[in-house]
Amino acid sequence: MIWVLRNFRTSNSIITDFTIYAIETDCHIFKDNHFSQVFTLEQVKCMRDFLLFACENEDYFYVGVARTNLIRLYQAFPEIQEAKQAAASNGDKRP
């Protein structure tokens, strides 16, 4: 995610799309170890923020997949949705 954030405006690398696709909570690679067992809550919050950023920058990111994966992330981790709502009540205007 760091590389993508640093380079998304200047690179046409497919890594940008791959990064968005990789944040899929029900991907087959998590069959043996569920997504929530692999990543900490702080890591999941970073993924949420990355997907929100992607949704806000549709000229550079595949927004359809970003939105879908964001919804799946909220379903798998309802506590990050609650954190987002608390931030919004404190003046944060992000979706």
- Domain ranges in the chain are 2-26+34-89
Condensed to tens digits (0 to 9), the pLDDT of residues 54-89 reads 999 999 998 999 999 999 999 989 888 865 555 555
Smallest CA-to-CA distance from 44 within 22, 71, 77 is with 77
pLDDT at 80: 85
Using the predicted structure, report yes or no on whether residue 53 has a pLDDT greater than 60.
Answer: yes
Handedness of CA 67, 87, 45, 79 (dihedral sign): negative
CB 51 within 8 A of CB 73: yes
Least confident range of 15-24, 30-39, 48-57, 63-72: 30-39
